[in-house]
Amino acid sequence: MNVYVAGTGMTKFGKHAESSIELSVEAAAKAMEDAGIAPEEIEELYVGNFAQNMFEGQAHPGPALYGSLGLKNNIKATHVESACASGGFALHEAFRAIKGGFAKTVMVVGVEKMTSRPTPEVTGILATAGDAFYEVPCGITFPGYFALMASYYLKNIGGTRDDLAEIAIKNHHHASKNPYAQFRKEITKDVYYGSPIIAEPLCLYDCSPISDGAAAMILTSEKKDVELASCEAAVSRMALAERREDISWLESAEIAGKRAYMVAGVTPEDIDVAEVHDCFTIAEVQNIEALGFYKHGEGIKAAKEKETYYDGKKPVNTDGGLKAKGHPVGATGVSMAIEVVKQIHNEAYNQVKGAEVGLISNMGGSGPSCVAGILRRS
């Protein structure tokens, strides 16, 4: 059974007064309208959410959401969590629900409402996605995790802070055209270097923001113009301390990507546009290397050389990426897939000419879980 995209919808990412339920309703209603599908046609719901129990006091989002979304009573609704890859993992299970012949029309909603908590508390909540038994008790949180990987990369593999700045500049440039983005503004190198260091060598503009938002996608077995050709997952070691010698290499993204290429029958060269998990600028570099777009050590120059701009030879994060579009954790993976659908529909805000095949790489935590998916014109 092939899997197609029937419709998509999302909220603007940023700071919202609304609850996770209300944000989900907005995204889902748009997706149903886009698909021309009534609520009662949806057979199953998968919710991608990281920690609404801590952000809002609401666990159990399957039953909490389905009624508000207007879906039919007694459908199946499942909550899938894999830190910042929660949306991607929900998409993966929904993909299988159709691929395996269990359902014909499945909705995926990714959502996170984060800004209701003060920033230090959010940082603490996010840190539960790290290694809670050994590393987090030593004081590490996510900027620290990625600072360690960035330091390793800059010291041993190559590149400079200036190369990271170029990634932030590119993604802000892309987001400036995206009405759904949290930061619709260009930045300059002066702005980048003028911002405070968060965790050496990463400064404020290397980091994705705290965001609220929801993104919804309806998958169907009925032929549509965009196919979700694969959606595969992999995990790798949680603790940085347990990784192989090069802590900057994202094994889960490499393996999930290889699985996604294999199932879809494509190669990295076939990818016209990619949405990859740039929770920090360095993570974009790590992803585009793990996914086979660049050799290890060469990905860091891609933005500086304008190759990953929407009009470059390997467009990456054309919606502004997590960096500038925003990163409402559970919604992120689904929003990546939505951008690729827009590109294939020739409706993107930074349109890649002739985009036919796109990839998403949605990563959890410091990289130990990843979902990679391929969407293409069918």
CA–CA distance from 128 to each of 84, 142, 353, 365 (Å)?
Answer: 11, 10, 41, 9
Does 165 bind a copy of itself (CB under 8 A)? Our answer is: no
84 tagged catalytic: yes
Does 276 bind a copy of itself (CB under 8 A)? Our answer is: no
Give the three-state DSSP class for 121.
Answer: helix
Does 67 bind a copy of itself (CB under 8 A)? Our answer is: yes
C-beta of 141 vs 171, nearer to a copy of itself: 141
Distance CA 143, CA 313 (A): 30
Q: Which of 16, 84, 203, 279 is catalytic?
A: 84
Does 251 bind a copy of itself (CB under 8 A)? Our answer is: yes
Q: Which stretch binds a copy of itself (CB under 8 A): 91-99, 139-147, 150-158, 204-212?
A: 91-99
Does 80 bind a copy of itself (CB under 8 A)? Our answer is: yes
DSSP code of residue 95: H
C-beta of 21 vs 375, nearer to a copy of itself: 21
Site for a copy of itself in 2-41 (CB under 8 A): 19, 21
C-beta of 343 vs 369, nearer to a copy of itself: 369
Distance CA 163, CA 170 (A): 11
C-beta of 132 vs 197, nearer to a copy of itself: 132
Q: Which of 110, 144, 365, 373 binds a copy of itself (CB under 8 A)?
A: 365
Give the three-state DSSP class for 8.
Answer: strand
CA–CA distance from 14 to each of 125, 291, 304 (Å)?
Answer: 18, 29, 27
**In 3D, which of 356, 276, 324, 319 has the Cα closest to residue 88?**
276
Q: Which of 92, 173, 277, 327 is catalytic?
A: 327
Does 87 bind a copy of itself (CB under 8 A)? Our answer is: no
Side chain identity, residue 107: M
Query: Which two three-digit tokens encode residue 46?
Result: 């998968």
Strand 212-220 relative to strand 357-364, pairing: unpaired
296 tagged catalytic: no
Distance CA 191, CA 214 (A): 29
Helix (H) or strand (E) holding 4: strand 4-10
Q: What is the closest distance, in whole angstroms, from the C-beta atom of residue 227 to a copy of itself in the complex?
A: 18
C-beta of 168 vs 250, nearer to a copy of itself: 250
Asked if residues 293 and 270 have their Cβ atoms less than 8 Å apart, the reply is no
Does 131 bind a copy of itself (CB under 8 A)? Our answer is: yes
Q: How far is CA 94 from the centre of its chain?
A: 16
Applying CB under 8 A, the residues found at the interface with a copy of itself are 19, 21, 50-51, 53-54, 56-60, 62-64, 66-67, 73-83, 89, 92-93, 96-97, 99-102, 125, 127-133, 136, 232-238, 242, 251-252, 255, 364-365, 368-369
Active site residues: 84, 327
